Structure 1
Amino acid sequence: MYTIKLALIVLLRIIDSLILVRVLLSFFPTLQSSKISYFVYQMTEPIMAPCRAILDKLGLGMGMIDFSPILAFLFVNLLQNLVYAI
């Protein structure tokens, strides 16, 4: 049980870090066509797409600022707290 808990915690921290890297990459348009950027986008899109859809349904998805990373951070943080509580 401890090994599974530890693996989930590590996975969630990696996802959290990749979301942060994705946010930072958005400030550098020239880096968005790199292989690293492609990898980061592929790893984070399964989390970001549902967050974007939720924000669109709430009417918060319009505009130049993408708030989906904030929602994704909150979701990953919630999952981390749930894993710690187990």
Structure 2
Amino acid sequence: MKAVIDILIIALNLYWWVIIISAVLSWLIAFNVVNYRNQIVAQIDTTLRALTEPVLAPIRRRMPNLGAVDISPIVLLLGIIFIQMVLSYYVRPYVF
């Protein structure tokens, strides 16, 4: 059981980085630092959106409209941190 919890924590860590990279790439595209017409950039953005949008879309629906500011990735990152803390401190000590 400990191995399953460790794998879940590692998967959450990887997803945490996917969200960070997706947010940074969206800023770089929005500020025209990287060219979206570049095929590699477009493919990376499409892949990252496919990985993050199924989780971010429900959060965006429930949050109030803040205009151009999207804080749904921050809410998701806080949720991931909370889940990791629960797994680490409350579930792992009771697994033999």
Find 2:68's aligned residue among 48, 64, 71.
64
For residue 17 of structure 2, what is the aligned residue in structure 1?
17
Gaps of 5+ in 2: 30-34, 92-96
What number of residue pairs does the alignment pair up?
Answer: 82
Paired position in structure 2 for 1:42: 50
- Cα 1:4/1:52, change in 2 over 3 Å: same
The one-letter code matched in structure 2 to 1:50 is P
Partner of 2:86: 82
| TM-score normalized with structure 2 length | 0.76
Structure with bigger RCO (C-alpha 8 Å, 6+ apart): 2
Amino acid corresponding to residue 26 of structure 1 in structure 2:
S
SS in structure 1 at match of 2:22: helix
Larger Rg: 2
Unaligned runs of 5+ residues in structure 1 are none
| Sequence identity percentage | 26
User: Deviations along 1:4-46, whole A, 9 cap, x unmatched?
Assistant: 1011001101111111011101112234852111111111112
The alignment status of 1:27 with 2:27, answered yes or no, reads yes
Superposition RMSD in Å: 1.6
TM-score scaled by structure 1?
A: 0.84
